Structure 1
Amino acid sequence: MKSKWRYVPAVVCMVAIFISSSRSGDQLDSVLPWVQKWLPGLADFNPMHYVAYFILGLTVAFALGKRAATWSGCLLNVIICVLYGLSDEWHQSFVPMRSPDPLDLLHDGMGAAAAALIVLLVLTVRNRRGSRNYTGR
């Protein structure tokens, strides 16, 4: 039962992405000036795809547990995130003044892949240092 709770952060992240992508183009345009006060270099919300899916990739890695420290777990993480990104782009086709964009899906995948690879690297290094056979090289 404990391991099922590990999926909660990923589900919460997916809900947040769904809610954000449910906003119409007008709603997003009205929020952009406020966000630009905090992030002055932000011209539009495109970089947020990297950020949102990087966070989703981290939460999926948490859900995968030890499997996230394997190449197959890393690949599974990216597949889960990209499939969710695909469903999100489809969902946007029903939102006023929004449309699916293959580049958004690419950015989603890049954010997820970066998170999955960082988790793989960090967990691999941590596991090597924790093993009895670690020589410090």
Structure 2
Amino acid sequence: MTTRRSSLNRLLRWLPAVCCMAVIFALSARSGGELDSWLPWFQELMPQLQSFDPVHYAAYFALAFTFAFGFGFRRMNVWRCLLAVLLSVAYGATDEWHQSFVPRRSPDAADLLHDGIGAAAAMIAVWLWRLRAVRR
């Protein structure tokens, strides 16, 4: 019974990552016209961010963070951090491909770079937290 429960708990730890991927997929399925309704508002609010879409950083920061949660924060090491970034970038690549089928959207290598930067920032934060926790 205990083995079953621990297996279920390990499986449930990945639910946030699955939900995060579903949200990214749903947002990527929106046409360019739908996105044009709120992106200019955000860029007007923060004019210094005119040249990129900060949502990519935030979404893939969250995705990598949920991958770390799935692995277990206490079990994170350099290899798992790297794996979380690679999984995030791989999902970002499939997301860019998915966008090629959405009206008024197109794949963009710069978006994939922003995805990777967001994921790497999350793993730096996790690694710093991990170092701090080990020192205590």
TM-score by length of 1: 0.85
Candidates 40, 45, 61, aligned match of 2:45: 40
Mapped to 2, the partners of 1:91 and 1:128 lie a distance apart of: 43
Give 3-state SS (helix, strand or coil) of 2:63's partner. Answer: helix
Matching of residues 17-32 of structure 1 within 5 Å: 17-32=24-39
CA contact (8 A) 1:78 1:112 kept: yes
Contact residue 10 and residue 56 of structure 1 kept, 8 A: yes
d(CA) in 2 for partners of 1:73, 1:18: 24
Runs of 4+ in structure 1 deviating by more than 6 angstroms, as ranges, are none
Deviation at 1:95, TM superposition (A): 0.3
Alignment size in residue pairs? 126
**Any conservation in 2 of the 1:32–1:44 contact (CA below 8 Å)?**
no
RMSD, aligned CA: 1.7
Question: CA separation in 1, counterparts of 2:103 and 2:33?
Answer: 9
Mark the runs of 5 or more structure 1 residues left unpaired by the alignment.
Answer: 130-137
Is 1:114 paired with 2:121?
yes
Q: Distance in 2 between matches of 1:22 and 1:121?
A: 34
The reply on whether 1:67 has 2:75 as its aligned counterpart is yes
**Cα distance in 2 between the residues matched to 1:48 and 1:32:** 9
Q: TM-score, normalised to structure 2's length?
A: 0.85
Aligned ranges 1:1-137 → 2 under 5 Å: 1-32=8-39, 35-36=41-42, 40-41=45-46, 43=50, 46-65=53-72, 66-68=74-76, 70-129=77-136
CA distance in 1, matches of 2:96, 2:39: 20
